[in-house]
Structure 1
Amino acid sequence: MGYPLVWDLESFFKGGSESEEFAHFVKKIDQTLLQLQGRVELESSIEELETFIHDLQDVMQYAREAGAFVSCLTAQDVSDEKATLWQGEIQEQMTKIQSLAVSLEEKLVALSNDQWETLIALDSLKEVKFNLEERKLAADDKLDPEQEKLAASFAIDGYHAWGNLYNQAVGRMQVPFEEDGEVKQLSAGQLQNRLNSSDRPTRERAFDVSEEAWQKEAPLFASTLNHLAGFRLKLYEARGWEDVLKEPLAINRMESSTLDAMWGAINDNKPRFYEFMDRKAKLLGVEKLAMHDVHAPLPTEKDATISYDDACELIIKHFRKFSPKLATFTEGALRDGWVEAEDRSGKRPGGFCTSFAKSKQSRIFMTYDGSMSNVATLAHELGHAYHGHCLKEKQPFAQRYAMNVAETASTLAETIVADALVSEATDKELKLSLLENKVNRALAFFMNIHSRFLFETRFYEARKEKLVSTKELNELMEEAQREAYGNQLSNYSPTFWASKLHFHITGVPFYNFPYTFGYLFSMGIYKRALDAGRSFEDDYIALLEDTASMSVEDLAKKHLDVDITKKEFWQEAIDVVLADVDEFMELTK
């Protein structure tokens, strides 16, 4: 059967950004928020507070639905000005919801011990007890409620605006690239796909053109990044927070000892990956890998592309071997137009999965070009969608899982497909290519993501003192890459800070280490799944269902019986990857 390449958004709201139905939906959210704002100061009894908590969760779901729709519109067509305007309106609504949440936290803090115990003992709130406790504790560590509300209102035009400006500027970028005897104007996303080409001269040209294009725009992006970080740091300073990792760790419900143990285990094992990088350089016919070689496919005489329909069938097939429930869900999502995969201009770069909370569906965005890397991306985003599916019947507060566990389901989905393909391959050349692709994923999490983490922590420390120039940003980026890659590459990408969207996202700070956490956490889960066989399916679903209701340390202890503040768990997960390195090295002797 054929799977649609373009997603279905009409089933949510007909007419895209001009939809009258959507305009009515947004207006209804505004009216509900107005009513809640009028009630929040009056309600004081436990019964009234219980009702307010449920009503706040409900309007959150409506706003998430609207936000998901707009994010899809702006991604599929970066020139859709109406969608960009809608994005601003939804951000204002989310700010009002944040203000209402601050008011809720204020009320929770004001409760007596007896009142608090009565509230969290209510049957209708048992599912969100952890989330209410989390909010109550967080409130004690912030500014007073009125100041927090003021900061949130200023963020619309002072903080989020910088992220929006970055997105708009990137969306307008058109980069000239000579290909097939003609000069084409490529979007940032299309140029990124050229960097993954199997043809090294193409990659080299794409890398040079990319660096030149991003350097040209760097002064603008240095300004947006500096002001975005400046806003965040001023807020931290007002709250009395000195550690720039305080907020990202709290958002990810994670202890600093866990983060240190994870990076420590990775650094201990990096030399094993340097051997792999040297072997890959030899296979590519170069002395040292360049930045644009690290994730390039191995040279092969076989067709390295796969059609979209075949990729969908392949993913469903291998998901079914691991989890029939995951496979059935995936088949329905692909069949029903949950994925936007068409390779066309005008789309934003990258890929994502977004949840339509009220409709209990997801939509996946990517640009599919037939590479195995794109197959991995599709499997990854389908993993996100399945995670949301497992939580869709929970109360909204209990659906809000953090980034690090969000990346667990997605990277596990990637691993299922990648591992199955390697085990089934009978042709040596194909097996090598697939193994290399698997190890490449580890390099991305252990080195590329590590370089982002190093850059961002150092940038924020520098930004505390002054505005950081384009030249200094380039130097910080290259220094971080040299350290993260063990100085094993022949060149680096100084402008990566400008080209990587994650540095400019305002929704969450430090959009980097959660990827590595999710990858290795999923490796640990995958090992246990292999040991347990098909019986692990329900255990896996139970783990996903708990991801928004406890810290990651408690989650790991409850479902895996491990202490992730120690290196042992992380080493065990890395060993799964090292087995692939060993097999690759053996096959390429």
Structure 2
Amino acid sequence: MSDQYQDVFELDSIYQGGSSSTELKETLEKAKETLDHFISDIKNWNIPESKEDSAEFLLLINQQADISKNLMNASSYLECLASADVTDEKAVEISALIYAYDALLQTAEDEWHQKFVQIEDLVWEELLQINGLDSIHFVLNEARENRKLKGSKTQEEVINALSVDGYQGWSDHYDTIVNNMRIKLDEKKEISPGQALNLLNDPDHAVRKATFKAYTEAWQNNRRIFADTLNHLAGFRLAKYAIRDTKEVLNEPLTLNRMQPETLKAMWHVIREQKPIFVSFLERKAKLLGLEKLSFYDVEAPLLLEGEPKKYSYQEGAEFILRHFNAFSPKMAEFAEHAFKNRWIEAENRDNKRPGGFCTDFPINKESRIFMTYDGAPGTVATLAHELGHAFHSYVLRDEPYENTHYAMNVAETASTFAEMIIADAAVKEAKTKAEKITLLEDKIGRSIAFFMNIHARFLFETRFYEARKKGVLTANSLNRLMEEAQREAYMDSLAEYHPEFWASKLHFYIADVPFYNFPYTFGYLFSLGIYQHARKTGSSYEDDYIALLKDTGKMTTEELAQKHLGVDLTTASFWEDTLAVTEEDVREFLRLTEDM
């Protein structure tokens, strides 16, 4: 019999004592001391005139890595504490201190990178060939080139100082509001937003409708506060762009994702062209649910054709994941088993937890932790696999230079959706009856709908919101209108009811350091499909090929990664057409199986 896995994560091996940890306090004090030295050393650093001046350069790189690792370790720990218990105010308080340290570090890095630009090209190339720097040359070149796109030293110093309250302050403000929100289902029962999200996937249409009504009312009651928050977050970002003379709002997210605009355009173009077949899926699902049209809260509802909805205990879900990871990659399965055994996962379904899920890294310990709320539905098994995919990605990079472990969000979502896909595929293939196969196939296709329609709506909303915000503050009513228009376009006007308050309820719009926290998910999904196809063609070497690709994600552009490991050009339509064909085949199979129902 396998070990019984616990569904509450273990954090004492990181720092003992929770948010009152003496060890954590000492770590931050030491990090601040090292940071002060780093700031001073940067100011006094003389621009190298030859490769003989490399010793101090190497020392600064090691200093910077040491500070970053310790701040990230502490920040991840506090994020875990605050997410697992929203009443832990001390964790939030200490997190604010880390934001301040991060701002100081960013200012020092900016001054340092400005000096990179002043190094003569020939000397720069010679420096990058030195042992110890050659392995991180991509990251150093990137820092040098990106610095050319920023403002002056003084401007960037002011931006970083103000970002603590201008960016992070408003983001934290949003968290504070949400953490104190309760969804009132009736006179006697109130639940958290996270628990309400689970109820929105209830198989009973009446439960979904009632929950959605209560859920949207809760956001409506606070919509002026959320409108203020979103407007000020965007206003700060646009002010930063104006200082840097950045004309295009998408420049920053594309740079952060190491991605060309042509790639993004090609991806969305192909998705738009192929949407009609997914509308056919939505229409068929509505018919099977006994509805004329789906509403927003029906899109992800489970489709039950026989008996009760399938549920997996936490143990069963873990064992299902391990079995199917092992069929694809024994190394991936071995890693996931280690995560389960060592309690890296917080999955308990209880009150006072934040909604959503995430995987966060502890670079000092070379470990990860996963946060989610597990309710036993096939969708949460897939979510668990998704987060384990993130953790595996970090695991394969554990021995890389620290600078090469910072991969962009779009390829971060590749590993997670790839892991999720393994589980979704396996569930369909293991179906014992036609009805079960239809149910699981619907759940799998539902992920495509999320990436091609829900995420597309978010992208359309955010693009239009930022353009409108350049002209002034938007009211909650204006934001509602923009959101519904985006949803109607993304879903091809196929729904009976939309979710205009989605802009208020979705955390991703309020994440301070990553604008457009949307299109990378769709990219990651389709890119992972491309990898999956490539793996099936490759044969026995796919496990090592996949790990090799993950190891390169922190040291090349997205387009270079695809060309090297898959031999494809992401800026053209053909790659996206080929990957969408896989999901279209699922839809055709679903439509065929349900034709006479």
Q: Normalising to structure 2: TM-score of the pair?
A: 0.97
Q: CA deviation at 1:43?
A: 2.1
Structure 2: which amino acid aligns with 1:238?
I
Determine the structure 2 residue equivalent to 1:311.
317
Are residue 476 (structure 1) and residue 482 (structure 2) matched?
yes
Q: CA deviation at 1:102?
A: 0.6
Identity of aligned residues (%): 48
Are residue 573 (structure 1) and residue 575 (structure 2) matched?
no
Contact (CA 8 Å) 2:256, 2:408: kept in 1 or not? yes
Contact (CA 8 Å) 1:323, 1:534: kept in 2 or not? no
Contact (CA 8 Å) 2:114, 2:147: kept in 1 or not? yes
CA RMSD of aligned residues (A): 0.9
Contact (CA 8 Å) 2:34, 2:63: kept in 1 or not? no
Determine the structure 2 residue equivalent to 1:127.
135
* 1:428-447 alignment runs, 5 A limit: 428-447=434-453
CA distance, structure 2, for counterparts of residue 482 and residue 69 of structure 1: 40
Q: CA deviation at 1:157?
A: 1.4
Which residue of the other structure, out of 245, 248, 264, is the alignment partner of 1:243?
248
Contact (CA 8 Å) 1:341, 1:365: kept in 2 or not? yes
* 1:457-536 alignment runs, 5 A limit: 457-536=463-542
Structure 1: which amino acid aligns with 2:291?
V
Task: Provide Cα deviations, 1:387-419, integer angstroms capped at 9, x if missing partner.
Answer: 000111111211000000000000000000110
Determine the structure 2 residue equivalent to 1:389.
395
Contact (CA 8 Å) 2:166, 2:236: kept in 1 or not? yes
CA distance, structure 2, for counterparts of residue 47 and residue 310 of structure 1: 54
CA distance, structure 2, for counterparts of residue 371 and residue 216 of structure 1: 30
CA distance, structure 2, for counterparts of residue 341 and residue 161 of structure 1: 28
Name the SS for the 1:468 alignment partner. Answer: coil
Determine the structure 1 residue equivalent to 2:68.
60
Contact (CA 8 Å) 1:57, 1:395: kept in 2 or not? no
CA distance, structure 2, for counterparts of residue 309 and residue 126 of structure 1: 45
Q: CA deviation at 1:41?
A: 1.4
Determine the structure 2 residue equivalent to 1:349.
355
Are residue 74 (structure 1) and residue 76 (structure 2) matched?
no
Are residue 268 (structure 1) and residue 270 (structure 2) matched?
no
Are residue 219 (structure 1) and residue 224 (structure 2) matched?
yes
Q: CA deviation at 1:141?
A: 0.9
CA distance, structure 1, for counterparts of residue 309 and residue 518 of structure 2: 33
Task: Provide Cα deviations, 1:444-493, integer angstroms capped at 9, x if missing partner.
Answer: 00000000000000000000000000000000000000000000000000
CA distance, structure 2, for counterparts of residue 572 and residue 47 of structure 1: 49
* 1:75-224 alignment runs, 5 A limit: 75-178=83-186, 183-224=188-229
Determine the structure 1 residue equivalent to 2:42.
40
Structure 2: which amino acid aligns with 1:544?
L
Q: CA deviation at 1:114?
A: 2.9
Q: What are structure 1's unaligned runs of at least 5 residues?
A: none
Structure 1: which amino acid aligns with 2:42?
V
Which residue of the other structure, out of 10, 19, 32, is the alignment partner of 2:12?
10
Structure 1: which amino acid aligns with 2:412?
A
Q: CA deviation at 1:17?
A: 0.5
Task: Provide Cα deviations, 1:136-158, integer angstroms capped at 9, x if missing partner.
Answer: 01111110122212210111012
CA distance, structure 2, for counterparts of residue 298 and residue 103 of structure 1: 56
CA distance, structure 2, for counterparts of residue 534 and residue 502 of structure 1: 38
CA distance, structure 1, for counterparts of residue 126 and residue 533 of structure 2: 42
Aligned length: 586
Contact (CA 8 Å) 2:203, 2:309: kept in 1 or not? no
Determine the structure 2 residue equivalent to 1:541.
547
Determine the structure 1 residue equivalent to 2:589.
583
Task: Provide Cα deviations, 1:228-251, integer angstroms capped at 9, x if missing partner.
Answer: 000000000111111100000000
Task: Provide Cα deviations, 1:169-211, integer angstroms capped at 9, x if missing partner.
Answer: 1001011114xxx732111100110001111110001111111
More displaced 10-residue stretch of structure 1: 529-538 or 376-385: 529-538
Contact (CA 8 Å) 1:72, 1:365: kept in 2 or not? yes
Structure 2: which amino acid aligns with 1:255?
Q
Structure 2: which amino acid aligns with 1:499?
S
Name the SS for the 2:188 alignment partner. Answer: strand
Q: CA deviation at 1:117?
A: 1.7
Contact (CA 8 Å) 2:253, 2:516: kept in 1 or not? yes
Structure 1: which amino acid aligns with 2:131?
D
Task: Provide Cα deviations, 1:317-371, integer angstroms capped at 9, x if missing partner.
Answer: 0000000000000000011100000111111100000000111000000001111
CA distance, structure 1, for counterparts of residue 150 and residue 129 of structure 2: 26
Structure 1: which amino acid aligns with 2:433?
D
CA distance, structure 2, for counterparts of residue 575 and residue 241 of structure 1: 37
Task: Provide Cα deviations, 1:256-278, integer angstroms capped at 9, x if missing partner.
Answer: 10000000110111001011111
The 4+ residue runs of structure 1 with deviation greater than 4 A are: none
CA distance, structure 1, for counterparts of residue 591 and residue 276 of structure 2: 14
Determine the structure 1 residue equivalent to 2:49.
none
Determine the structure 2 residue equivalent to 1:286.
291
Structure 2: which amino acid aligns with 1:260?
K
CA distance, structure 2, for counterparts of residue 516 and residue 172 of structure 1: 31
CA distance, structure 1, for counterparts of residue 106 and residue 574 of structure 2: 39
Determine the structure 1 residue equivalent to 2:430.
424
Name the SS for the 1:213 alignment partner. Answer: helix
Name the SS for the 1:447 alignment partner. Answer: helix
Contact (CA 8 Å) 1:128, 1:398: kept in 2 or not? yes
Structure 1: which amino acid aligns with 2:464?
R
CA distance, structure 2, for counterparts of residue 66 and residue 125 of structure 1: 27
